[in-house]
Amino acid sequence: MVVDDSVVIRRLVASALDQDSAIEVVGTASNGAIGLQRIPQLNPDVITLDIEMPDMDGLEMLRRVRKDHPSVRVIMLSTLTERGAAKTLEALQLGADDYLAKSSSENSGQSSNSEFRDELCLKVKQFFRFQEPSHLNIAIPQSAAELEYPKVPTKSVGLPASVVAIGTSTGGPTALGAILPNFPASFPLPVLIVQHMPPLFTRLLSERLNSVCALHVEEASQGAVVEPGKVLIAPGDFHMKLVSDHGRISVVLDQSAQENFCRPAVDVLFRSVAEVYGGSALAIVLTGMGQDGLRGAEKLREKGARIIAQDESSSVVWGMPGAVVKSGVADRVLPLDQVVPEVLRISKSA
Active site residues: 169, 196, 292
| Alpha-carbon span 171 to 292, nearest angstrom | 14
- Ramachandran region of residue 283, left (φ > 0), alpha (ψ -120 to 50) or beta? beta
DSSP state of 225: B
CB-neighbour burial class of residue 191 (10 A; exposed 0-12, middle 13-18, buried 19+): buried
- Ramachandran region of residue 235, left (φ > 0), alpha (ψ -120 to 50) or beta? beta
Of the candidates 335, 289, 101, the residue with the CA atom closest to the CA atom of residue 195: 289
Question: Quick check: 251 and 269 in contact, CB under 8 A?
Answer: no
CB proximity list for 219: less than 8 A, separation 6 or greater: 202, 203, 206, 232, 233, 235
Q: Indicate the pairing of strand 191-195 with strand 230-233.
A: parallel
Q: How many residues does the chain have?
A: 350
Of the candidates 12, 206, 211, 205, the residue with the CA atom closest to the CA atom of residue 107: 12
Beta-bridge mates of residue 75: 48, 98
- Ordered alpha helix ranges (H), the chain: 7-18, 32-42, 58-68, 82-94, 110-125, 172-179, 201-210, 266-277, 294-302, 320-327, 339-347
Angstrom CA distances, 123 to 55, 169, 170, stand at 27, 11, 9
